[in-house]
Amino acid sequence: MAKLLRWTGYVVGVLLLLIVLAAAYVWIASAQKLNARVEPRPERLIPMEQASLEEGQHLLVTRACAECHGPDLRGTKFLDVPNVATLYAPNLTLVAKQASDQQLAQAIRQGIGYQGESLLVMPSESYANLTDAEVAALIKAIRATPTGGQRTPPRSVGPLGRIGLAAGQFKMAPQVVEDYAAAQAADFGPKFAAGRHIAVTVCSGCHGSTLSGKEAEPGTIAPDLTMAGSYDLPAFKKLMHTGLPPSGRELKMMTGVSRKAFSHFTDEEIAALHAYLVERARRAP
């Protein structure tokens, strides 16, 4: 009996040790990713006096910046899942007071915060495709937004979030930027370039780098955008303006982002995006 107890004790001890080692591994591996400092590339923008404020304000809305950072850019609690993470989309009116144009541009296009930290969730993988003129316009519009509000608290990542990071299921923004750069949506030449540009600078964030679909958030799939090929222009316009597909039923993610962001696209932008997506669907194998 005593012997059996002793052996049970050993087994439990070894199991506990393994659990402690696994937890230490997850902690160290995730901390390494969360604290990773990536050297930003120098950003080349057009001179600020040539940047268009109106274009920047249009991009702030249509590229969904305002959806996460708030209509007044003063920050929102963007994600709050117990044990996974609490993430704030920062107050950009205050960040803009601290950060240079280079630093804002590297946050937008490279996923590297102004203090050099790797960002999480910020969809720089799509914004990496914005032109130098568009990024300059965005920065001009951010700087023109009235300053106010509080600094948002720092992000905190819980045990499940850390397991996801250690296992490579969640990735830091600079890594996602790199992954996206390696596989891009098909290019059908100048005739479809304007529509493709919109798709790769915003739709790709949820629908994937090649627009062939991905899990937009745990449990929610954003489908392959060949689906858009079955939409005629009026139905596509209705989807962009109201977030409702032809069936009229609300969609879990798409309805909200359409109403807040895509309803601000001009008719010309919607037509260009539609033309590209229809061509892409037509050429799909």
DSSP letters of 221-241? EEPPGGGGGG--HHHHHHHHH
Tokens 């102004």 locate to 114
* Minimum distance from residue 70 beta carbon to ligand HEC (Å): 10
* Minimum distance from residue 95 beta carbon to ligand HEC (Å): 5
Among 45, 84, 85, 120, binds ligand HEC (CB under 6 A): 120
* Minimum distance from residue 247 beta carbon to ligand HEC (Å): 7
Per-residue contact string for residues 1-40; x = within reach of ligand HEC by CB under 6 A = ----------------------------------------
Q: Residues 68, 78: contact at Cβ < 8 Å?
A: yes
* Minimum distance from residue 72 beta carbon to ligand HEC (Å): 14
Among 40, 56, 123, 164, binds ligand HEC (CB under 6 A): 123
Give 198's Cβ-side CA count (13 Å radius): 23
Residue 21 CB partners (closer than 8 Å, separation 6+): none
**Residue 138, interface with ligand HEC (CB under 6 A)?**
yes
**Residue 41, interface with ligand HEC (CB under 6 A)?**
no
Q: Residues 91, 75: contact at Cβ < 8 Å?
A: yes
- Residue number with CB closer to ligand HEC (31 or 227): 227
Residue 1 has which token pair? Answer: 């009996």
Total residue count of the chain as it appears in this document: 285
42 CB neighbour count, 10 Å cutoff:
7
**Residue 155, interface with ligand HEC (CB under 6 A)?**
yes
Q: Which of the stretches 8-16, 35-43, 180-188, 214-222 binds ligand HEC when contact is defined by CB under 6 A?
A: 214-222
- Measured between alpha carbons, how far is residue 121 from residues 53, 76, 137, 138, 176 in Å? 26, 13, 22, 19, 9
Distance CA 36, CA 118 (A): 6
* Minimum distance from residue 211 beta carbon to ligand HEC (Å): 9
- Residue number with CB closer to ligand HEC (36 or 253): 253
Using CB under 6 A as the binding rule, the residues of this chain from 46 to 105 that contact ligand HEC are 63-65, 67-69, 78, 87, 89-90, 92, 95, 104
Among 38, 85, 94, 122, binds ligand HEC (CB under 6 A): 122
* Minimum distance from residue 222 beta carbon to ligand HEC (Å): 4
Distance CA 106, CA 115 (A): 10
- Measured between alpha carbons, how far is residue 170 from residues 115, 116, 209 in Å? 22, 20, 16
Distance CA 48, CA 45 (A): 8
Q: Residues 183, 209: contact at Cβ < 8 Å?
A: yes
Question: Can you give the binding site for ligand HEC, defined by CB under 6 A?
Answer: 63-65, 67-69, 78, 87, 89-90, 92, 95, 104, 107-108, 113-114, 119-123, 127, 138, 155, 202-203, 205-207, 216, 220, 222-223, 225, 227-228, 239, 245, 251-254, 257, 262, 273
